[in-house]
Chains A and B, each alone.
Chain A
Amino acid sequence: MPEEQPETRFDFTRRSFLGRSGLAGGVVLSGHAADVARGEVQQDTPNGDTGVDEDALVQLDIDQARLVQAMAERIYPSDELGPGAAELGVVYFIDRQLAGLSNGWGEGANWYMEPPFVNQFEGATLNQGWQSNLVPQEAYEFALGWIEEYASNEFGGSFIDLSTEQQDELLTALENDDPDNFRSVKPSEFFTLFRTNVLEGVYCDPTYGGNRNMAGWRMKRFPGSPGALGSYRELIGREGFIRIPPRSVEDDVESTGIETGSSSSNSANSSESATHSHGHSHGPRYELEGEQKDEAQGDSEEDTDA
């Protein structure tokens, strides 16, 4: 350890980030579509109604969306612990992801997609990763069709009309590469992609259309963001679980006062009405078991908010 404290020439300890303009605009939210998702979907579809709102779709058509929703619900079903994929809005999450509204993911914007392609039907090994020439939005487009074709041939109907036992049987067949009508992407590869996307939709920040009412986070007792310049320093050494009501990164954005672009006012409105009844206070959000209640300032929100 140095004998004397050196002179401070760069101070990263007390920087005033709030109110700075133009700094974080590029890393805030995922753009207009997220606002669309919140504004239209979350307001128009009450909790518990798991029908798909056609007007809210960007990439998928209504039949594809219903199929995605039914499949997603088998991956992550509703049960006594809480909502399943349908109620959590996973179909809207996947729809927007496929549309490329988050880092261009659905379009494979950051993937290396140069030929020649040697896919798994042609000798690529699983260990070499995705080798199909299809980007996610294309893979979904085709695979959903192949799944319906397989459902019709093997079970005599559309996936959404099958019993849950049959639906599970079909998903297991995908996982085991049983269908022989897939091309470019193997059934198991698509299954892996789909399962991953469902879990993303269950537990993502609600700004992306999934994890509605932050109910996915509540099940895992996950608090979301600690807040912009948030801290658990005083809590990290403590025994006992500390339950903190969840917080979306949108609250962080608003707390910093950073403009999010032309859709910012829309975003603010929709977030207010959708999930964040607890506002944007900077006080502690937690309640410590066995301590005086007045030590926990701010809201003491329980699981039932929103």
Chain B
Amino acid sequence: MPEVLDPVDVVCVGVGWTGGIIGKELAQDGKQVVGIERGGERGPEDYLTMHNELRYALRYEMMQDLSKGTLTFRNEPNQKALPMRQLGSFLPGKGVGGAGVHWNGQTWRFLPYDFEIRSRTLDRYGPEKIPEDMQLQDWGITYDELRPYYREFEEMTGISGAAGNLNGTIQEEGNPFEGPRNEYPTQPMITSPVLGRFMEASASVGLHPFMAPSANLSEAYTNSDGVARGPCQYCGYCERFGCEWGAKADPTVTVLPSAQETGNFELRTQCDARRLVYDEQEGRVTGVKYVDTVDNTVYIQPAEVVALTAYGLWNVKLLLLSDIGEPYDPETGEGVVGKNYCYQNFGGGAAGYFDDEEWNLYMGAGALGAAVDDWNGDNFDHTDLDFLHGGNIAISQTGKRPIANNESPPNIEKEWGAEFKRASVKYHNSTASISAQGAVLPHRTNYLDLDPTYTDEWGDPLLRMTFNWTEQDRKLAEFEGQRCAEIIEAMGPTKMGVGTEVVGEGGNYDIRPYQSTHNTGGAVMGSDPNQSVVNSYLQCWDAENLFVPGASAFAHNSGYNPTGTVGALAYRAADGIKQYFKRPGMLG
């Protein structure tokens, strides 16, 4: 029998960005908050000797241990799903701070278009523009409504950048396509020579380049919680590593110390949540059942409010295991939990090989980049195109490490042997690569449910992912690849390679090569309970005291990194929880 603990006000299931933000906000509001985290504690002092590509970037020291649980995967519903036995395509984190510790720090706002994508597509192009199986939905919230929450996240983390649309006035140095915003808390990152070359080239072909927004911190910054962090050192070890300087915003150097300072936030590590305790009659969750994995004791932690703040995929798994909400059925289109799983399409890209250049590509920062947004969202006319949306095209100088990066110009016969060695050595510091971060729009047969065969360490079913690229994705990759090629060509390379096909063997999504840890959807937000799992406050339609923020709430995935929007939605949920304590019931 599980031991039932004394009730608290709020339980956060998972302590990464979303759990950290909600934990801090509610603890500062005087609520008693418990954070349940299956990994261990960590902080900047643990990252001092982390400049080690093999151990951290390739043996995945900071990532989830799949031996305890994974997911199964197939491309199509008529295929047998098989376990993702080793990590590859995406890298969920483990430990306090979650993937928010090993991320790059590329922090974007989605476009106003994104939140109203269905309405705006119908308005501009008419109903024929949306293919039958594309389950395009509005998010139940507008950019203007989300804007103050974006600002809270950016000011807490100290995002570096230059506004391009300053409260409606277009600014030369920023992104002219973004929604209206205030100034960034800190100035843009330093423009390295290769980034400058990209910006000159893209301007020369009529595009609008700007320095990408960054959570790496361009200058010293103290946020309103009194958290002081120093500037980025451009050491080249961000993605898949922790930042020993504390310059890169992560939950362990921002929201978590602020939460713990209140005395109202209790962090329970090595504790694995197994169920939300759900009272379907009452439409409420009463608490969380979890295992302390150190001694295998099972507890139930009752709470007034539960915030499901795990990685997006595991949010969906816990909802399904707890029988909350109707599971999505791709045959009938009925049900909501597991619907609209989306990803990121990096099929369009180009690389230039420069015989007369050598850049300091070993230096860098996770969010040191320059970008153009001319071919993203609905920033260009799609009337004569056979796809929707687009992608942010960027060059990133994240610190080029030697094992994972082996350049092979297009004329190389094979990926090993003398010729390969010569090319990969010669061009290691002489290659400029850019890619479009393609949006992925929802499709009827791309979804999440529970696997009928495989189980995790507790004997629970694994999550099953059914996902493949669609015609939309293939056309988008082709278009974006051509746009990338135009920019690279303007950079004046000796030779160039162009990618115009989606990533994966046979043109199908492939679980092996790393693409991005941008798994979205499955518990999407919206204004209609028949179309969504949560409302615009991330409050669950089937359990009024359950809030489910995270990328699982994305109704589709845009052409940007997701964390800025994840952070904004977490602040929105925290606001919703505060309101709920004052006036219980469905918000809105």
A interface, CB within 8 angstroms of B = 1-2, 5-15, 17, 20, 23-24, 26-28, 30, 74-77, 79, 81-82, 84, 102-103, 105, 108-114, 116, 118, 123-131, 168, 171-172, 175, 195, 198-200, 202-205, 207-208, 216-217, 219-233, 235-239, 241-242, 244, 249, 252-253, 256, 258
How many Å lie between the Cα of A128 and that of B261 in the bound state? Answer: 45
Chain A nearest CB from B470 CB (Å) reads: 15
- Binary A-proximity of B412-435 (CB < 8 A = 1, otherwise 0): 001111100110110011000000
Query: Are B244 and A127 in touch, CB under 8 angstroms?
Result: no
Query: Are A220 and B85 in touch, CB under 8 angstroms?
Result: no
Query: Are A232 and B233 in touch, CB under 8 angstroms?
Result: yes
Residue of A7, A79, A112 near B66 (CB, 8 A) is A112
Considering residues A26, A230, A236, which has the most beta carbons from chain B within 10 angstroms of its beta carbon? A236
Instruction: Point out the residues of chain A lying under 8 angstroms from B244, CB to CB.
Output: 17, 228-229
Chain B nearest CB from A210 CB (Å) reads: 9
Query: Are B53 and A129 in touch, CB under 8 angstroms?
Result: no
Query: Are B246 and A252 in touch, CB under 8 angstroms?
Result: no
Known: A74-B417, A75-B416, A168-B417. 12 other contacts (CB 8 A): A2-B224, A9-B227, A10-B258, A75-B417, A108-B67, A111-B85, A129-B73, A199-B403, A217-B402, A228-B244, A230-B235, A256-B48
Q: Which residue of A lies closest to B51 (CB)?
A: A225
Query: Are B49 and A13 in touch, CB under 8 angstroms?
Result: no
Considering residues A102, A217, A222, which has the most beta carbons from chain B within 10 angstroms of its beta carbon? A222
Considering residues B234, B360, B363, B453, which has the most beta carbons from chain A within 10 angstroms of its beta carbon? B360
How many Å lie between the Cα of A223 and that of B257 in the bound state? Answer: 34
List 28 A-B residue pairs with CB atoms under 8 Å apart, sorted by A's residue number: A1-B186, A12-B44, A17-B48, A74-B416, A81-B425, A102-B55, A103-B61, A111-B66, A118-B82, A123-B80, A127-B75, A127-B510, A127-B512, A129-B82, A200-B58, A205-B53, A222-B428, A228-B244, A232-B233, A232-B234, A232-B236, A233-B233, A236-B234, A249-B49, A249-B51, A249-B52, A252-B49, A256-B48
Query: Are B362 and A103 in touch, CB under 8 angstroms?
Result: no
- Binary A-proximity of B236-279 (CB < 8 A = 1, otherwise 0): 11000000111000000100011001000000000000000000
Q: Which residue of A lies closest to B430 (CB)?
A: A241
The reply on B299 being an interface residue by CB < 8 A is no
Chain A nearest CB from B391 CB (Å) reads: 22
Considering residues B228, B230, B422, B510, which has the most beta carbons from chain A within 10 angstroms of its beta carbon? B228
How many Å lie between the Cα of A140 and that of B328 in the bound state? Answer: 42
How many Å lie between the Cα of A281 and that of B65 in the bound state? Answer: 37
The reply on B135 being an interface residue by CB < 8 A is no
Q: How many residues of B contact A (CB 8 A)?
A: 98
Considering residues B48, B65, B193, B422, which has the most beta carbons from chain A within 10 angstroms of its beta carbon? B48
Considering residues B233, B414, B506, which has the most beta carbons from chain A within 10 angstroms of its beta carbon? B233
Query: Are B429 and A241 in touch, CB under 8 angstroms?
Result: yes
Q: Which residue of A lies closest to B425 (CB)?
A: A219
How many Å lie between the Cα of A222 and that of B70 in the bound state? Answer: 35
Query: Are A128 and B67 in touch, CB under 8 angstroms?
Result: no
The reply on B183 being an interface residue by CB < 8 A is yes
How many Å lie between the Cα of A175 and that of B415 in the bound state? Answer: 11
Considering residues A75, A102, A111, which has the most beta carbons from chain B within 10 angstroms of its beta carbon? A111
The reply on B69 being an interface residue by CB < 8 A is yes
Instruction: Point out the residues of chain B lying under 8 angstroms from A6, CB to CB.
Output: 222-226
Query: Are B59 and A102 in touch, CB under 8 angstroms?
Result: yes
Query: Are B418 and A79 in touch, CB under 8 angstroms?
Result: yes
Query: Are A17 and B44 in touch, CB under 8 angstroms?
Result: yes
Query: Are A171 and B454 in touch, CB under 8 angstroms?
Result: no
How many Å lie between the Cα of A258 and that of B50 in the bound state? Answer: 13
Instruction: Point out the residues of chain B lying under 8 angstroms from A82, CB to CB.
Output: 425
The reply on B141 being an interface residue by CB < 8 A is no
Chain A nearest CB from B445 CB (Å) reads: 16
The reply on B337 being an interface residue by CB < 8 A is no
How many Å lie between the Cα of A233 and that of B219 in the bound state? Answer: 11
Q: Given that A5-B222, A226-B235 are known contacts, is A252 also in contact with B51, CB under 8 Å in the complex?
A: yes
Query: Are B49 and A81 in touch, CB under 8 angstroms?
Result: no
How many Å lie between the Cα of A23 and that of B50 in the bound state? Answer: 13
Q: Given that A103-B59, A128-B82, A232-B235 are known contacts, is A226 also in contact with B51, CB under 8 Å in the complex?
A: yes
Q: Given that A24-B46, A129-B88 are known contacts, is A13 also in contact with B402, CB under 8 Å in the complex?
A: no
Chain B nearest CB from A72 CB (Å) reads: 10
Query: Are A229 and B48 in touch, CB under 8 angstroms?
Result: yes
Q: Name B343-377 residues within 8 Å CB distance of A.
A: 358-360, 362-364, 368
Q: Given that A23-B46, A127-B509 are known contacts, is A77 also in contact with B417, CB under 8 Å in the complex?
A: yes
Q: Given that A74-B417, A113-B85, A252-B48 are known contacts, is A127 also in contact with B225, CB under 8 Å in the complex?
A: no
The reply on B5 being an interface residue by CB < 8 A is no
How many Å lie between the Cα of A27 and that of B55 in the bound state? Answer: 9
Instruction: Point out the residues of chain B lying under 8 angstroms from A110, CB to CB.
Output: 60, 65-67, 86-87
Q: Name B462-515 residues within 8 Å CB distance of A.
A: 504-506, 508-512
Q: Which residue of B lies closest to A175 (CB)?
A: B414
Instruction: Point out the residues of chain B lying under 8 angstroms from A253, CB to CB.
Output: 49
Instruction: Point out the residues of chain A lying under 8 angstroms from B505, CB to CB.
Output: 125-127
How many Å lie between the Cα of A105 and that of B60 in the bound state? Answer: 10
Instruction: Point out the residues of chain B lying under 8 angstroms from A239, CB to CB.
Output: 193
The reply on B527 being an interface residue by CB < 8 A is no
Q: Given that A12-B227, A79-B421, A232-B236 are known contacts, is A241 also in contact with B359, CB under 8 Å in the complex?
A: yes
Instruction: Point out the residues of chain A lying under 8 angstroms from B318, CB to CB.
Output: none
Instruction: Point out the residues of chain A lying under 8 angstroms from B44, CB to CB.
Output: 12, 15, 17
The reply on B171 being an interface residue by CB < 8 A is no
